[in-house]
A and B are shown apart, each in its own frame.
Chain A
Amino acid sequence: MKQTAFTIVTPIRAGEIERLGALLDEIGSDIKDNPHLRFGQFERLHYASLLTVIDAGAQPVLIFEGNLDGPPEVFLRQLVEEAGAAVDTIYGHCLDYPAPGSRAAGAVVHYLASHDIGADTFYVAWPGRRVSEIFDEQHLRDRIGEMLDKELSAPDGARTTVALRAALQEGVRADPSLAWAGEIPPKPLFVRQGSNVLVALALPPLAAGLALLRSAFARSSGRTSRWMARLILAGVVGAVAWIARRLLAEEEIDADGDRQRHPDWQTAYARWSDQLGDLVQRENVGVQNHMASVTRIKDGWFRLRLLQVVLWVINLFARLRYNKGKLGSIPSIHFGRWVISPDRRHLIFLTNFDGSWESYLSDFIDLSASGLTAIWANTDNAVGCPQARWLVTRGARDEPRFKAYARSSQVRTQAWYSAYPDLTVSNIANNMALREGLFADLDEPAAEAWLRRL
């Protein structure tokens, strides 16, 4: 089943942000059992977050993030049907929400769906994995682990790789509640064939380029077509040169602006850092964390368009190539997204990740600095993104400043839900591989490797 994202951004009524914030805090302080909204009842929901943002448009907005199995409409309908009162209580603070008299389920779903801005870049660690499969496979590993403990503690238990594996297979077969384990669901096409699809996508423009070069310079092509081809080539080269010059000019203006930045970034960050306490109060409660960040897109159409292109390219790679547990080389993201705000002046980043903020940002800088620079170099705040050169160099490699920039762009997540808060991306992968190998025909080294998964 396909995973999808919704990002519902709704303006908050004047003067109501504090009451709405208090409500979200109440939900967030007990995400499982609060009296308003229990996300756990929605079996299609991987992650959700709710937060208010002051500086993401003309007026403060409420952001509702969802990461789902299946299309958003199905989830939103279920949400309104099963938790309509909570939706009313939350969205009653927002502009244009249907008045109490006209809150038919359809109208509410329409309201939510019409404010959904989706995602420009959407990353899913393990496309195709449903919430229920993730639960089931963890249960399977726990059960096999218990069987292994029992076998090892039995004086006459199995002691070789082959015998142990046979005993565990037998144990699973003997338990009818684990009958599902042997039927391996197919992996989505883009996970299996993504790289080939990428090549296929790249081929036509490449072929066109070669054909153009050929007709521009080969003797065999006619005079007219030769000159036509040369004209087109010149156009392409000119356009690329123009974009490059424009980019360098923008970067130089930015660098000048940064040198004159007042106060300098360290002072700006020191001033901001009073707000740090508020952000970290719910961090590191478990092994996963959430981060919401809002930055201002630099002025001018060029930066906005460039950002859109970068997000589109990264999204394409996230769909086709980075769909096996890593975004670039970053192994710690379950679901992440970048989306441009409705006023097209802000970049919203929402991510659900393993480990601490510090280790996450270190992963960003150490493992994927180019891609992240290409995104955030188009944005700014009081601290400022460290200067990029040629869009992808420098930038995030300035470790202290990039961390300061990311921290100061962060907005506190008021309510955050994770369906499987105790599992990391790598745990999920290991569980998946354990199930896939359970009844597979494995040679001795592969069987040893399989046993190491327990």
Chain B
Amino acid sequence: MTLLERADVQGLVVSGYGRMPLSCFLLLRLGDAAAARRWVAALADRVTSSEKPEERRCINVALTASGLTQIGVDGADLASFPAALREGMAAPHRQRILGDTDASDPQLWEWGGSRVAPVMGEVHALLLLYGADEQSFTAVVDDEQARLADAEITVVHRIEPLPLPGRDKVGKFGTEHFGFADGMSQPVVKGSGQEDKLAGDDARRGVIETGEFVLGYPNGYGQQTPWPTVDASSASGRDFGRNGSYLVVRQLAQDVAGFWRFLDEHSRTADGLSDTEARERLGAKLVGRWRSGAPLVKAHHRDDPDMGTDNSFGYAAWDPHGQRCPLGAHIRRTNPRDGLGEDPDRALELANLHRLVRRGRVYGVALESPLGGDDGRERGLVFICVNANLERQFEFVQHSWCNNPKFAGLYDEMDPLLATQPAEGGNYTIQDAPARRRLTALPNFVTTRGGAYFFLPGLRALRHLGTLRPS
């Protein structure tokens, strides 16, 4: 097994910096190319690697295709990057893949999306800053902002995630705005050292080949995913992509009041009264886990906080027909485990060719009383994920699983949480015995507000960018 070259890989690949509650994501527009090259080369010395996340503050950086061009990567070299990165998240046919239509149309985004107000909206780079405490955080943000100003780099948009609410309550994992514990199921990167904690079936389910997340290592097919080159006449240019990853960032606004209103209306008693237990159950049926994180597959009668971090399950043996966790539930669509296909072992292997390391954080203040109506303030999730093949991993999950009306033999429904539903509302089937229940007129609960694909270079590659000459 090849060990991950941790000193050259940015820290975000192996860590979500859980011990750093403060963070700030700056979306940048580069100015003068020479100044940008000096900035990025110097930044390489401050960037946090995967070796050992620092104690007080962390810095990571990623570039879009237009950012690479701006910094001096020429057209022929840019062609060595995958089409998804070059075209960007807002390309018209990608809108169909990602479900960014109607209210989620890139034309309405706050940032990203190559077609939105090109001067203001276009993003060249992303600077991710994290701090363990107020003092270190302010220091790193001030310092980096001063350096950006020196390099004529402007901040196009600024996302300030909040510490995940309810972290203390559920331990390691945070709670997203709808009220559900999030982030239990993460692939473990082989060669990162973290796989030592898993064994047996959990290892089979959760440990994924290094090359699925970092370029330059064997992927799930035992092969190298081709990596991009920048100035192939030099060794560092030929190895430009090595130890790099692709980063997906999407700002997803959540309609928390709408979500709970829908659950409330569809779980009332025959007399039309709110029924707390039925409401919670319906929410769990849409998500696939209870609020605590306990999976429906295991805790199918009621929430069980003791199982809040339980990730040791498959679908084939426990729940082949979706009568515990519906076939179209959010967690079943985003990771079907061994549930798709006739042979569970093979199904698991195939599903594991489409895994994502998620590094997102929530933004916006929590809604005090979700059943009391909306307060008009935006809140949601900054979805961030790391993968080595945008098309086979992130886009596949989004299109062939989440947004696919035909997922798992279904007919006409999409991910109940994420999808942009049709104008007349979406459908949702809750499998049960003796017969299924069908919900109709599902509204959108999530709206895309911005997004872009980035390349997350290794540290040597960042330095290499600093050596590029003006063309």
Contacts and interface: CB of A to CB of B under 8 A. Distances in A.
Interface in B367-413: 391-392, 395-396, 399-400, 404-406, 409, 411-412
A451 B258 CA distance: 32
Contacts of B434: 159-161, 164, 448, 451
Nearest to A159: B434
Contact of B396 (A358, A451, A454): A358
Interface stretch (B119-127, B218-226, B460-468): B218-226
Given A277-B87, A287-B405, A287-B406, A358 B392 contact: yes
Contacts of B392: 358, 362, 399
B93 interface: yes
B350 A366 contact: yes
Nearest to B224: A400
A62 to B, nearest CB: 25
A383 B189 CA distance: 31
Contacts of A451: 434-435
B375 to A, nearest CB: 35
B83 interface: yes
Given A359-B396, A362-B392, A398-B223, A454 B436 contact: yes
Contacts of B270: 155
B438 interface: yes
Interface stretch (A109-117, A200-208, A278-286, A304-312): A278-286
Interface in B207-233: 219, 221, 223, 225-226
A418 to B, nearest CB: 14
Interface string A376-403: 0000000000000000000001111000
Contacts of A277: 87, 91, 93
Contact of B409 (A271, A285, A430): A430
A32 to B, nearest CB: 19
Interface string A415-429: 000000010101100
Contacts of B96: 283-285
B116 interface: no
B223 A266 contact: no
Contacts of A219: none
A426 B412 CA distance: 13
A397 B221 CA distance: 8
Contacts of B400: 355-356, 358-359
A270 B411 contact: no
Interface in A109-165: 145, 148-149, 152, 155, 159-161, 164
A218 B341 CA distance: 49
B353 A362 contact: yes
Interface string A159-196: 11100100000000000000000000000000000000
Contacts of B406: 287, 354-355, 424, 426-427
Nearest to A431: B411
A329 to B, nearest CB: 9
Contacts of B438: 145, 149
Interface in B63-86: 76, 79-80, 83
B83 A273 contact: yes
A284 B321 contact: no
A452 interface: yes
A363 to B, nearest CB: 9
A365 B221 CA distance: 10
Contact of B97 (A273, A284, A422): A284
Interface residues of B, number: 38
B431 interface: yes
B433 interface: yes
B197 interface: no
Nearest to B96: A284
B321 A452 contact: yes
A137 to B, nearest CB: 13
A38 B409 CA distance: 30
A283 B92 CA distance: 11
Nearest to B409: A426
Nearest to A158: B434
Interface size class of A (residues with CB under 8 A): 35 or more
B437 interface: yes
A356 B399 contact: yes
A276 interface: yes
Contacts of A285: 96
Nearest to A272: B79
A287 B391 contact: no
A268 to B, nearest CB: 11
Contacts of B91: 277
A145 B435 CA distance: 10
B273 to A, nearest CB: 17
Contact of B404 (A273, A355, A366, A398): A355
Nearest to B91: A277
Nearest to A426: B409
A454 B435 contact: yes
Contact of A276 (B83, B396, B411): B83
A434 to B, nearest CB: 12
Contacts of A424: 406
A427 B412 CA distance: 10
Nearest to A424: B406
A397 B434 CA distance: 43
A399 B396 contact: no
Contacts of A426: 406, 409
A358 B83 CA distance: 13
A358 B395 CA distance: 9
Interface in B274-316: none
Contacts of B435: 148, 152, 164, 451, 454
Given A273-B79, A356-B399, A399-B223, A448 B93 contact: no
A424 B412 CA distance: 11
A430 B321 CA distance: 14
B225 A283 contact: no
A164 to B, nearest CB: 6
B441 to A, nearest CB: 13
Contact of B411 (A354, A358, A397, A427): A427
Given A266-B226, A399-B223, A454-B435, A284 B411 contact: no
A280 B404 contact: no
B89 to A, nearest CB: 14
A66 B83 CA distance: 32
A159 B399 CA distance: 36
B391 A280 contact: no
Given A148-B435, A270-B79, A284 B399 contact: yes
B234 to A, nearest CB: 17
Nearest to A274: B79
Contacts of A155: 270
B9 to A, nearest CB: 21
B106 to A, nearest CB: 16
Q: 6 closest pairs, A vs B, by CB? A: A270-B79, A161-B434, A359-B400, A280-B93, A399-B221, A284-B96
Interface of B: 76, 79-80, 83, 87, 91-93, 96-97, 219, 221, 223, 225-226, 270, 321, 350, 353, 391-392, 395-396, 399-400, 404-406, 409, 411-412, 431, 433-438
Given A273-B79, A399-B219, 16 more contacts: A148-B435, A152-B437, A155-B270, A159-B434, A164-B434, A267-B80, A283-B96, A284-B399, A359-B399, A362-B396, A399-B223, A400-B226, A427-B406, A430-B409, A451-B435, A452-B436
24 contacts: A148-B435, A152-B435, A155-B270, A164-B435, A270-B76, A273-B83, A276-B83, A287-B404, A287-B405, A355-B400, A355-B406, A356-B97, A358-B392, A358-B396, A358-B400, A359-B400, A366-B350, A399-B219, A400-B225, A427-B406, A427-B409, A448-B433, A452-B431, A454-B435
